[in-house]
Amino acid sequence: MRLALGLCALLATPALAVQPDEVLADPALEARARALSQNLRCLVCRNENIDDSNADLARDLRLLVRERLVAGDTDAEALDFIVERYGEYVLLTPTTGGSNIILWLAGPALLLGGAGLALATLRRRKSAPDAPLTPDEQARLAEILRD
C-alpha cells in the first residue's frame, strides 16, 4: 500500500531523510524546523513530507526551512515564504481559506446534521406494527432464531 513512498526512492539517490549535516546546532530551532518539515510536501514524491523523504528536492526544502528559521523568520513567515515560491500544493495541511472551509467543516457539520436527524427520528418514532408474518414464515423465523 505504501508503494508510493517506496517508489519515491527511485527518484532519489539512496539516502536517509534528514541528514546529520542538516541538523541545526540550536535544538529549539531544529525542533521547529522538524515540525515545519512535517507539514511540507516533497513535491516529487507527492505522498511524503520533506522530513521523511529521500529526494534531493526535499533536502533543498529542508535546508531552505532551516535557512529561514536561522534568519529569524517565525514559523508562519517561513511557511509563507515557501508557499509563495512553490504554491499552495506544498502545504500538507490545507488552509481554511476560500472553498477549503467546506473540507474543514464537512465532518463537524455532518455530525451535527446526523445527530439532529437521529434525534428527530427517535422522537417521532411510534411503534407501528409491521405487516404480520404468515404462520409459515413465523414458524421458520422461530426455528432460525431458536438456535
The residue ranges that bind other proteins (CB under 8 A) are 1-10, 14-21, 23, 38-39, 41, 45-49, 52, 87-95, 98-100, 103-104, 106-107, 110-111, 114-115, 118, 122, 125-130, 133, 140-141, 143-147
Comparing CB distances to other proteins, the nearer of 70 and 101 is 101
| DSSP code of residue 41 | B
Name the burial class of residue 91, with classes exposed (0-12), middle (13-18) and buried (19+) by CB atoms within 10 angstroms of its CB: middle
Comparing CB distances to other proteins, the nearer of 71 and 94 is 94
User: Nearest distance from residue 68's CB to other proteins, in Å?
Assistant: 19
Comparing CB distances to other proteins, the nearer of 49 and 69 is 49
> Partners of 41 in the beta sheet?
49
Locate 89 and state its grid cell: 500544493
CA neighbor of 65 nearest in space, from 42, 94, 93: 42
